[in-house]
């Protein structure tokens, strides 16, 4: 049985969330990312940063500032610390993951051997700008629904290999985490239900939910519907069969009607809206009264937050 399923990831403070969810993946990813830049077995001899090695004295030292060149939310400083450790650099952070910054905010200071600083800065920025971009777009969605009952949730639409880091980043932006993967929760989607006759959906969903709960201590069981008729069938199920119903690609008026029917017949059941959610539509969706809104864009379509590393000073000179 999966012992991780009952962890409420969204209830953890960010430092604990990183340690328990993303630390192991971050350690592995940093090694792979550095190998991409510095050379690795099977592709070429491990040579390192040829430009810096041929230009700078090995005794040269430097100090640099990581600063934001735009407004946004920071995520990935704990990954930057791993990069700094590999490089033999000291990293002093001036804000923390989850902090909102404006253009010009000093995020962290790097110090150490200049060759190491220059050969690791891009890897550090790649993680920081990408994850901060996820966090920034997430925060924009969270801000857009503020004052409603709706929580913004992430999805499994993540870059392969970066799932846990991207989920950590969305939490930095204020999201509620959805299932981590296929292993920790149940979401019966249209392709699962495609073979069911409409009249049989309720019974088949009940059977699937019971089997799932016998296989693992799942965090929740959720079922997707694309019509009010399907919703009505699921609202007839006994309490405890389903935890949530996902309302797929419904207009705000239809969502409001779904909420009305849920409130009358199964008030403890959570409703989640999904499908084509944009910043210019999310407020209207939230106003329908749904409990959750899942947004794929916060992980698959967020622009990077512009961050830069600027050298303060050096000592030791050129070669």
Mind listing the pLDDT tens digit for each residue in 206-265?
999 999 999 999 999 999 999 999 999 999 999 999 999 999 999 999 999 999 999 999
Per-residue pLDDT at 48: 87
Q: From CA 173, how far away is CA 97, in angstroms rounded?
A: 9
Active site residue 222: no
Q: Give the 3-state secondary structure of 7-23.
A: CCHHHCCHHHHHHHHHH
Per-residue pLDDT at 317: 58
Of 50, 114, 123, the closest CA to residue 83 belongs to 123
Per-residue pLDDT at 3: 43
C-alpha dihedral sign at 221, 223, 229, 233: negative
When mean pLDDT is compared across 3-7, 43-47, 277-281, the lowest value belongs to: 43-47
The catalytic position among 189, 260, 278, 319 is: 189
Residues 6+ apart with CB under 8 A from 103: 68, 69, 70, 71
pLDDT, average across residues 90-95: 98
The catalytic position among 81, 224, 272, 291 is: 224
Tell me the per-residue pLDDT of 33-48, one tens digit each, with 9 for 90 and over: 999 999 865 544 557 8
Active site residue 27: no
Residue count of the chain, please give it: 319
Two tokens at 141? 């969605």
**Which residues are registered as beta bridge partners of 48?**
none
Q: From CA 234, how far away is CA 223, in angstroms rounded?
A: 9
pLDDT, average across residues 11-28: 98
Fold of 9-132+304-314: Aldehyde Oxidoreductase; domain 3 (3.90.1170)
The catalytic position among 23, 61, 63, 122 is: 122
Show me where the domains of the chain are located. 9-132+304-314, 143-300
Active site residue 224: yes
Per-residue pLDDT at 129: 98
Q: From CA 221, how far away is CA 204, in angstroms rounded?
A: 13
Is 0.85 surpassed by the pTM of this model?
Answer: yes
126 — pLDDT class (breaks 50, 70, 90): very high
Active site residue 248: yes
Per-residue pLDDT at 264: 98
197 — pLDDT class (breaks 50, 70, 90): low
The catalytic position among 63, 100, 157, 261 is: 157
* Top-tier CATH class for 143-300: alpha beta
Active site residue 167: no
Of 195, 177, 193, the closest CA to residue 185 belongs to 177
Residue 293 has pLDDT above 90, yes or no: yes
């Amino acid at each position: 049985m999966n012992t991780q399923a009952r962890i409420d990831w969204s209830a953890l403070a960010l430092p604990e969330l990183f340690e328990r969810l993303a630390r192991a993946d971050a350690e592995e990813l940093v090694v792979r990312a550095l190998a991409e830049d510095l050379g690795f077995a099977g592709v070429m001899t491990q040579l390192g940063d040829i430009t810096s090695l041929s230009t700078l004295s090995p005794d040269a030292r430097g100090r640099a500032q990581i600063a934001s060149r735009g407004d946004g939310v920071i995520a990935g400083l704990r990954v930057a610390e791993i990069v700094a450790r590999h490089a033999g650099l000291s990293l002093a952070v001036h804000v923390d993951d989850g902090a909102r910054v404006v253009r010009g905010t000093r995020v962290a200071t790097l110090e150490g051997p200049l060759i190491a600083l220059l050969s690791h800065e891009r890897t550090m920025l790649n993680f920081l700008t990408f994850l901060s971009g996820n966090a920034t777009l997430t925060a924009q969605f969270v801000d857009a629904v503020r004052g409603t009952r709706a929580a913004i949730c992430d999805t499994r639409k993540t870059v392969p290999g970066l799932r846990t880091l991207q989920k950590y980043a969305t939490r930095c932006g204020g999201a509620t985490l959805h299932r981590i993967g296929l292993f920790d929760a149940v979401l019966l989607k249209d392709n699962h239900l495609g073979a069911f006759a409409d009249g049989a959906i309720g019974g088949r969903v009940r059977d699937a939910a019971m089997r799932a709960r016998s296989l693992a201590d799942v965090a929740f069981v959720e079922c997707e519907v694309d019509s009010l008729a399907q919703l009505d069938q699921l609202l007839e199920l006994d309490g405890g069969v389903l935890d949530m119903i996902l309302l797929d690609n419904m207009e705000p008026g239809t969502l409001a009607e779904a909420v009305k029917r849920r409130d009358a017949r199964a008030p403890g059941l959570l409703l989640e809206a999904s499908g084509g959610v944009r910043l210019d539509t999310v407020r209207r969706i939230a106003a329908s009264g749904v409990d959750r809104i899942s947004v794929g864009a916060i992980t698959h379509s967020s622009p990077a937050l512009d961050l830069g590393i600027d050298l303060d000073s050096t000592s030791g000179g050129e070669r």
